[in-house]
Structure 1
Amino acid sequence: MEAESDRTEGQAARLPLSVFVIAQNEAARLPRTLAAARFAAELLVVDSGSTDDTVALAEAAGARVVHHDWAGYGPQKAFAEGLCAHDWVLNLDADEVVTGALAAEIARLFAEGPPPPAAYEIAILNVYPGDSRPRPWAADYRVVRLYHRSIGSYRRHALFDRVELAEGVRPARLAAPIWHYPLTSWAQFVEKENRYSSFQAREARERPRWLLLLRLVVELPMAFLKFYLLRRHVTGGWKGFAFALTAGFARWLRVVKLLERQGLERGVKENPEKSDDRMKHGP
């Protein structure tokens, strides 16, 4: 009876907030993500067809798991958002961890019950393979992740998963960050960026050929400088240099694949009877 009482009190102490995660084959990283989000009254995982232990581990962590076939980043998150039991929601990727400082900051917002509808940007800081924390003075990016569903929702764009806020709503900023563990190894980083650049090239809108040819020349150095200097990977030593260069190469590779797509589409128009299967199937 004492254990049951403790469990009930623990549930009651959780914040009236839903944390939702979209996942596929994230057994290695998802448990840490869910464990750090136990301050929320609801943990929701939308799985798009995992073949590893993702579903079992999510359920063991106390999450409600719902299957939904992959529909693209924005639609998948919008679907998960709509299933949440609470109007205040926090979106996490399966490889992200809420820091203790951020959990405490969110708890202060809810100290007297659910606050009035608002939206909050949170800093997402990358952690390199083999490291336990972000590099010094990291400045990766800020996005709206904590918000009230009455004033914001995920746009249904297959590529850009961004929260769109109601007209006139300006997001506030939380001071503490989310730590992002996007890479299990450098080899996995390259494989991931190759797959993602293919997806981007397939889903992106048509661009003028002259613009793509210009970007073919400038994309890699400009993207490298953006990551290395503006996002401060320069403070990450050799790992920071490797990250910035690989990320910049991925941006350049997307341009190459967009040019390839244009060539394939032109070939289909000129020879419709010889339509290439690559126009139908992604990697």
Structure 2
Amino acid sequence: MQRPEDAISMGRSWMSEQAAPISCYIRTLNEERLLGRVVAAAREVVDEVVIVDSGSKDATVAIAQAAGARMIRQEWLGNGRQKRFAEDQCRNDFVLDLDADEVVSPALAAEIRALFVAGPPPLPIYELRLLTVPPVGKPWANISVAYRRKLYDRRVVRAPDHKAWDQFEVPPGVEVGRLAGDLLHYSFRDVAHLVEKLNRVSTVRARDGKTSGRVAVAARVLFAWPFYFVKHYLFRGLYRAGIYGLVLAAISAYGRWLRDAKMYERMLADRERSPPRG
């Protein structure tokens, strides 16, 4: 747990002349673990941090306020809709979308600031390199590296109006830039937390996501887990993390398979509730 006074001390390192005309928004619910560090790092590059909290019971609100963020309370609207609400609260049109476990590295902060030195950047959307920092060992420089479109002009794109999905589509003809600096992703604190997180995410995706036919879902329940494992272990490079990588690949594959299992259960329940035909 991070203390509010720790957030205050980190916030004091921020200098306003470094800020770019960007609003950073963060959605929170019981995110005391890293929030002070996340806000302090964001304030090294943006001139506003907006936190949309959906009812935290821990020290999230106190930590955020101590770190200099603007707090807004909003009951959970769903993944995409909560982001759209957050976008609307920002005073700048260029926004930085951060999760409460993502820390802007000094290199990335310098790169973003450089984009705005001569005015608005040349492109409306930029992908950031998401670098996972595991609870043990070094950051995964060549494992499960992903790029996410997190710095963008809300006049060009918006988060989707959807309960489950929160990644926007790029309009035809719009060019996307890619930055080299790392966005450090402290995505889980231990194996138990990863299992809990995947269980929660799979429930949301199964409940609110787009469904395919019952036969297709059943086929995935029966046969897809090995393919999910291969995807994480080989294609995303978790084999490079040794036995620990094997453990995480198996859990990640299980989390993806859980979405199929829960979706199939939901379809069976919907069929039972439907009135009989004829």
1:10 corresponding residue in structure 2: 15
**Does the residue aligned with 2:85 lie in a helix, a strand or coil?**
helix
**Would you identify which runs of 4 or more consecutive aligned residues in structure 1 move more than 3 Å?**
164-167
1:93 corresponding residue in structure 2: 99
2:31 corresponding residue in structure 1: 26
1:104 corresponding residue in structure 2: 110
Using the TM superposition, give the Cα deviation of residue 257 of structure 1 relative to its aligned residue in structure 2, in angstroms.
Answer: 1.0
Contact kept, 8 Å, 1:153 with 1:165, in 2: the verdict is no
Contact kept, 8 Å, 1:219 with 1:251, in 2: the verdict is no
Note the alpha carbon deviations across 1:223-260, whole angstroms, 9 max, x for none: 11111122111212222211111110111111111111
Measured in 2, the distance between the counterparts of 1:176 and 1:12 equals 21
Indicate yes or no: 2:239 matched with 1:234: yes
Matches within 5 A, 1:62-141: 62-131=68-137, 133-141=138-146
User: What percentage of aligned pairs have identical amino acids?
Assistant: 40
Note the alpha carbon deviations across 1:135-178, whole angstroms, 9 max, x for none: 24124321210111221111111111113334311211111221
Segments of structure 1 that go 5 or more residues without pairing to the other structure are 1-6, 272-283
Measured in 1, the distance between the counterparts of 2:222 and 2:273 equals 27
Using the TM superposition, give the Cα deviation of residue 47 of structure 1 relative to its aligned residue in structure 2, in angstroms.
Answer: 0.4
Using the TM superposition, give the Cα deviation of residue 56 of structure 1 relative to its aligned residue in structure 2, in angstroms.
Answer: 0.9
Measured in 2, the distance between the counterparts of 1:155 and 1:175 equals 26
- The two structures, once aligned, show a CA RMSD in angstroms of 1.8
Measured in 2, the distance between the counterparts of 1:10 and 1:179 equals 21
Measured in 1, the distance between the counterparts of 2:222 and 2:215 equals 11
Which AA in structure 2 matches 1:159? A
Greater mean alpha carbon deviation, residues 262-271 or residues 62-71: 262-271
Q: Pick from 240, 246, 250: which aligns with 1:245?
A: 250
1:208 corresponding residue in structure 2: 213
Using the TM superposition, give the Cα deviation of residue 64 of structure 1 relative to its aligned residue in structure 2, in angstroms.
Answer: 0.4
Measured in 1, the distance between the counterparts of 2:272 and 2:171 equals 43
Measured in 1, the distance between the counterparts of 2:271 and 2:149 equals 39
Measured in 1, the distance between the counterparts of 2:171 and 2:156 equals 5
Matches within 5 A, 1:184-195: 184-195=189-200
Contact kept, 8 Å, 2:123 with 2:175, in 1: the verdict is no
Matches within 5 A, 1:259-274: 259-270=264-275
Indicate yes or no: 2:179 matched with 1:174: yes
Using the TM superposition, give the Cα deviation of residue 101 of structure 1 relative to its aligned residue in structure 2, in angstroms.
Answer: 1.2
Measured in 2, the distance between the counterparts of 1:139 and 1:201 equals 23
**Aligned residue pair count:** 263
Contact kept, 8 Å, 1:194 with 1:250, in 2: the verdict is yes
Contact kept, 8 Å, 2:128 with 2:180, in 1: the verdict is yes
Which AA in structure 1 matches 2:204? F
Using the TM superposition, give the Cα deviation of residue 22 of structure 1 relative to its aligned residue in structure 2, in angstroms.
Answer: 0.5
**Does the residue aligned with 1:135 lie in a helix, a strand or coil?**
coil
1:49 corresponding residue in structure 2: 55
Measured in 2, the distance between the counterparts of 1:121 and 1:136 equals 17
Contact kept, 8 Å, 1:122 with 1:145, in 2: the verdict is yes
Which AA in structure 1 matches 2:51? V
1:4 corresponding residue in structure 2: none
Which AA in structure 2 matches 1:123? R
**Does the residue aligned with 1:163 lie in a helix, a strand or coil?**
coil
Contact kept, 8 Å, 1:77 with 1:154, in 2: the verdict is yes
